[in-house]
Amino acid sequence: MILTRFERARILGARALQISLGAPSILPPEATADPLEIAIRELASGHAPLSVSRFRDAFD
């Protein structure tokens, strides 16, 4: 599934918030401690624990 820039921003923001509040990271730890960078690496690897639900517009 290809994400729009708005979906990507929402997922990265939500996951970075979770990580900053103490949620464990899916990937092994690295030298970086920035929650946003960790969220970007998780999304790029395809292991982000969040999903997107799309609904068709009523006017299609």
Task: Report the chain (60 residues): mean pLDDT per 10 consecutive residues.
Answer: 88 93 86 87 84 70
pLDDT, residue 58, reads 56
Give the pair of three-digit tokens for residue 11: 């997922």
Number of domains in the chain: 1
Q: Is 56 domain-assigned?
A: no
Rounded Cα–Cα distance for residues 31 and 24 (Å): 15
**In-domain check, residue 37:** yes
Q: Give the span between the Cα atoms of 26 and 39, in whole angstroms.
A: 9
Q: Does residue 36 sit within a domain?
A: yes
Task: Please give the residue range of the domain that contains residue 41.
Answer: 9-45
* Residue 33, in any domain of the structure: yes
Q: What pLDDT is attached to residue 17?
A: 95
Task: Report if residue 53 sits inside a domain.
Answer: no
pTM: 0.78
Residue 55 to residue 24: CA distance in whole angstroms? 30
Tell me, what CATH number does 19's domain have?
A: 3.90.940.10
